[in-house]
């Protein structure tokens, strides 16, 4: 690496619209410092592209600190790239070599149609949440912290599930394009707590049913979702969701 940083060669998916054909376009970008994020590298590339009077590469981002779930790229075939428990916006360029060629593509799934370049429509997740990813019963005002005793291991499970940021990497990684890890995390974060019990049956049926309608596949226990999840959501949540679903079907 020179004092001015490394040079990265890129093959980036360019697609001008949902119904337009797409293709990989080659670029090279120099002056990339190790502490830069992957998105900052794309920002520099876009400055170059704009400087030439061409159309910059479209990609999603917001917080750029791994908490909002907006960013999401498939980097060399892996959702969010080569680092475990890392979102695209947190991925640093120190993990790539000078002169390396990197292929950058959007998350691909039937439920996530490409809008432009690297941006996909992830509103399917919003519609799944609208089918039960909340508590609608009247739970009153905020209770005292010790008014509803919840064992720590139960609270920890709920909190672990609640760390899901809805980035959709689980769908992009799954050979079935299943949304099971996302849906199960959103079900589990409420199912473990007493406030979520009243609507547990309706929530499982509604959210899983909507995921089916959106065209996401079924879970067949590949585990790719867990491997790429930037928040380390466990496959155990899927097992929990399946138990909830079977129970809900029997009750219905």
Chain residues in the site for ligand FES (CB under 6 A): 61-64, 66-71, 87, 89, 165
How far apart, in whole angstroms, are the C-alpha atoms of residue 184 and residue 168?
Answer: 13
- Nearest distance in Å: CB 74, ligand FES: 14
- We find the least distance from the C-beta atom of residue 5 to ligand FES, in angstroms, to be 22
Smaller CB separation from ligand FES, 59 or 245 = 59
Q: How far is the CB of 61 from ligand FES (least distance, A)?
A: 4
Task: Tell me how many helices (H) and strands (E) the chain has.
Answer: 9, 7
Q: For 54-88, b where at least 16 C-beta lie within 10 A, e where not — what string? A: eeebebbbeebebebbbbbbbbeebbbbebeebbb
For ligand FES, which is the closer residue by CB, 74 or 204?
A: 74
Q: What angle do CA 136, 138, 144 make, to 5 degrees?
A: 120
Residue 235: CA atoms inside 13 Å, Cβ hemisphere, count? 12
Considering the complex, state which of residue 132 and residue 166 has its C-beta at the smaller distance from ligand FES. 166
Task: State which residue, 173 or 205, has the beta carbon closest to ligand FES.
Answer: 173
CB of 163 to ligand FES, least distance (A): 12
Q: Which is nearer to ligand FES, 70 or 184 (CB)?
A: 70
């Amino acid at each position: 690496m020179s004092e001015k940083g490394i040079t990265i060669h890129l093959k980036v998916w360019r697609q001008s619209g949902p119904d337009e054909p797409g293709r990989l376009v080659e670029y090279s970008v120099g002056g990339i410092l190790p502490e830069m994020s992957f998105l900052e590298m794309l920002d520099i590339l876009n400055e170059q592209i704009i400087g030439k009077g061409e159309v910059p590469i479209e990609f999603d981002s917001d917080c750029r600190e791994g908490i909002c779930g907006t960013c999401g790229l498939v980097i060399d075939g892996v959702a969010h790239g080569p680092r475990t428990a890392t979102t695209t916006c947190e991925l640093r360029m120190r993990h790539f070599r000078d002169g390396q060629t990197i292929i950058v593509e959007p998350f691909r799934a039937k439920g996530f149609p490409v809008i432009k370049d690297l941006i996909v429509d992830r509103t399917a997740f919003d519609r799944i949440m609208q089918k039960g990813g909340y508590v609608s019963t009247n739970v009153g005002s905020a209770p005292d912290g010790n008014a509803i005793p919840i064992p720590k291991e139960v609270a920890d499970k709920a909190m672990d599930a609640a760390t899901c940021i809805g980035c959709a990497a689980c769908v992009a990684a799954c050979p079935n394009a299943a949304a099971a890890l996302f849906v199960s995390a959103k079900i589990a974060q409420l199912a473990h707590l007493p406030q979520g019990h009243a609507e547990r049956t309706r929530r499982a049926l509604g959210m899983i049913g909507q995921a089916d309608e959106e065209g996401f596949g079924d879970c067949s226990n590949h585990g790719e979702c867990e491997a790429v999840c930037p928040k380390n959501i466990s496959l155990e949540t899927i097992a929990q969701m399946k138990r909830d679903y079977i129970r809900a079907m029997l009750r219905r």
